Structure 1
């Protein structure tokens, strides 16, 4: 008889995390769906399959408590999806220290915290899988997202290094690199960020241009379901595969980064991010 596997997923209160929790539960997995403030909605949909648990990625004690609650309920832990993350559109020079620290605390240190708390449980199970949700900007940087880009590129390096190290423990580590999902949300995000981190006068014209380039993104939005399916495939994948590139924009980023010269890569990214057009205006 096939053993039912158990997965812990962070950031399940909404969006990608919530959809991912549903997908695993619908496909027969037991799910520890974590969020800062559980509301019972997911557990209500799948009462036998989903356990909601409070978890703050910045609080190792809450991580261990959530994992233990899942182990007590389902018998063990087989996989982890590090999905929780935050972003901010801003000019680097004017980005508050508090915002920088918050992004790294969630995206980088939070991912590390979850992995460190989960590893003893995975090893006790004889191995398992860790899936880290990164971003297309982990491959190629874009303007106005410098802190988010830095955090995701840190996650990329961490993930690759751990994929070698944890092979010794029969733990596979995977990296999901999604493209922009619902890209028009950048408008609202950009406006909110301009209030949280006022744009210096000398940057205003460029900020407006770069933000408009995000709005006029030349690629279709990456479907959330395709990212969910990539996460699901990665959690089951026993091969040495590390990266799952998802979305037409990230496919182009990857092509430019790894299949062209440095000059061609930079020229291509400048065109895609509106930098070439800005040079024409300057």
Structure 2
């Protein structure tokens, strides 16, 4: 029987690449986005439904799940990809901007999970895949609220997996690395305006110059999609799926070395002494 996946945030980037990969591999795909653009998947035929879904609106989430069930009869996997980015100096970041990040990246993910769990629990099966970030594994400067929103989902998903495994449902994490081909920065330009100004402007310029020579290598959208496919189909008890060379390197550094070694290496890469020399 053909399996069905619902993916949030499929208008571009990781979400679109993930939808395309699952379609290639014969799945039914419910491709959701705030403003539906059916033309993005117009070659997929009856395998795909493009549905409106705003993760900050519980009614919108419920409608999307109902449409998915009506179209395909079941939802086997949910991928929570929808998210927003933020480069900013925390000191000058308005509280409402921080709340906006958490409403989508954290509470939005939780809302989708809470809406789909009753269906999966009743069936006794299902997989929830939550996207976080390499910055959720290893926080970096000038993304403190974003890192916090993703780190919250790291802890949430691990806890959720323990409780849901008792009813046949699994929760997993895909941890994407940095991919310059996505619209992460462009989509957040208005939100970020003025949030890297003095006294942090020179520091930010130095950091971005260093990121131009990123020490790990960048991820590709296809790598993230492959990790999502692995998380959705892996029969093991694995929880985390780092995706991209930076995420894999940072995960190894974080989880296989001491705290002292980890912090020393992070400060070497991103500390003020290094940046001052850029």
**TM-score (ref. length: structure 1):** 0.92
**How many pairs were matched up?**
278
**Cα pair 1:187 1:211 within 8 Å, conserved:** no
User: For 1:53, which of 51, 54, 63 is the aligned residue?
Assistant: 51
Structure 1 residue runs of 4+, over 4 Å off?
183-194
**Residue in 2 that maps onto 1:151:** 149
Q: Distance in 2 between matches of 1:188 and 1:25?
A: 27
1:31 and 1:185, CA in 2 relative to 1: closer, same or farther beyond 3 A? closer
User: For 2:210, which of 210, 213, 223 is the aligned residue?
Assistant: 213
**Residue in 1 that maps onto 2:193:** 195
Q: What is the CA distance between 1:48 and its match in structure 2?
A: 0.9
The alignment status of 1:267 with 2:264, answered yes or no, reads yes
Q: What is the CA distance between 1:121 and its match in structure 2?
A: 1.4
1:268 and 1:24, CA in 2 relative to 1: closer, same or farther beyond 3 A? same
Q: What is the CA distance between 1:33 and its match in structure 2?
A: 0.6
**Where do 5+ consecutive residues of structure 2 fail to align?**
none
Residues 117-167 of structure 1, C-alpha deviations (whole Å, 9 max, x = no match)? 111111233210000111111111100000110001001000100110100
The alignment status of 1:6 with 2:4, answered yes or no, reads yes
User: For 2:65, which of 64, 67, 87 is the aligned residue?
Assistant: 67
Q: What is the CA distance between 1:266 and its match in structure 2?
A: 0.9
Q: Distance in 2 between matches of 1:70 and 1:189?
A: 27
1:198 and 1:261, CA in 2 relative to 1: closer, same or farther beyond 3 A? closer
The alignment's C-alpha RMSD in Å is 2.1
SS in 1 for 2:140: coil
Residues 9-64 of structure 1, C-alpha deviations (whole Å, 9 max, x = no match)? 00011111111111111211111110011111244221210001100000111111
Q: What is the CA distance between 1:260 and its match in structure 2?
A: 2.0
Please say which of residues 271-280 and 45-54 is displaced more in the overlay: 271-280
1:241 and 1:126, CA in 2 relative to 1: closer, same or farther beyond 3 A? same
**Residue in 1 that maps onto 2:127:** 129
Structure 1 segment 62-211 matched on structure 2, within 5 A:
62-182=60-180, 195-197=193-195, 199=197, 201-211=198-208
SS in 1 for 2:46: coil
**Cα pair 1:8 1:31 within 8 Å, conserved:** yes
**Where do 5+ consecutive residues of structure 1 fail to align?**
none
1:11 and 1:189, CA in 2 relative to 1: closer, same or farther beyond 3 A? closer
Q: Distance in 1 between matches of 2:270 and 2:7?
A: 32
Q: What is the CA distance between 1:205 and its match in structure 2?
A: 2.3
**Cα pair 1:183 1:217 within 8 Å, conserved:** no
Q: Between the two structures, name the one with larger relative contact order (CA 8 Å, sep ≥ 6).
A: 2
The alignment status of 1:243 with 2:259, answered yes or no, reads no
Q: Distance in 1 between matches of 2:25 and 2:183?
A: 30
Please say which of residues 212-221 and 133-142 is displaced more in the overlay: 212-221
SS in 2 for 1:68: helix
